[in-house]
């Protein structure tokens, strides 16, 4: 049962995304862009939480007077 599902899933993915070179290219580029956005967003949030209180935005009030 699982092998039949996997075989049909792989054939659907192949037919819809990898059979034609143009759709293959678009799939690879689109996946790369989405992965890059997700990766950068996650690690920006991680870095901001680990360095909270030490960044310029956090300590600016101690050194610069707002006019």
Selection from 26, 22, 4 nearest residue 12 by Cα: 4
What was the pLDDT predicted at 2?
Answer: 55
pTM attached to this predicted model? 0.64
The mean per-residue pLDDT over the stretch 23-33 comes to 95
* Mean pLDDT, rounded, of the chain: 89
pLDDT interval class at 34 (50, 70, 90): very high
Q: Does the CA dihedral 60-38-40-25 come out positive or negative?
A: negative
What was the pLDDT predicted at 13?
Answer: 87
State yes or no: pLDDT of 1 exceeds 60: no
């Amino acid at each position: 049962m699982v092998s039949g599902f996997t075989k049909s899933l792989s054939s659907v993915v192949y037919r819809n995304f990898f059979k034609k070179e143009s759709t293959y290219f678009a799939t690879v580029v689109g996946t790369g862009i989405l992965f890059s956005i997700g990766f950068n967003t996650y690690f920006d949030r991680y870095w901001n939480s680990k360095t909270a209180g030490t960044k310029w935005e956090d300590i600016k009030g101690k050194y610069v007077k707002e006019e």
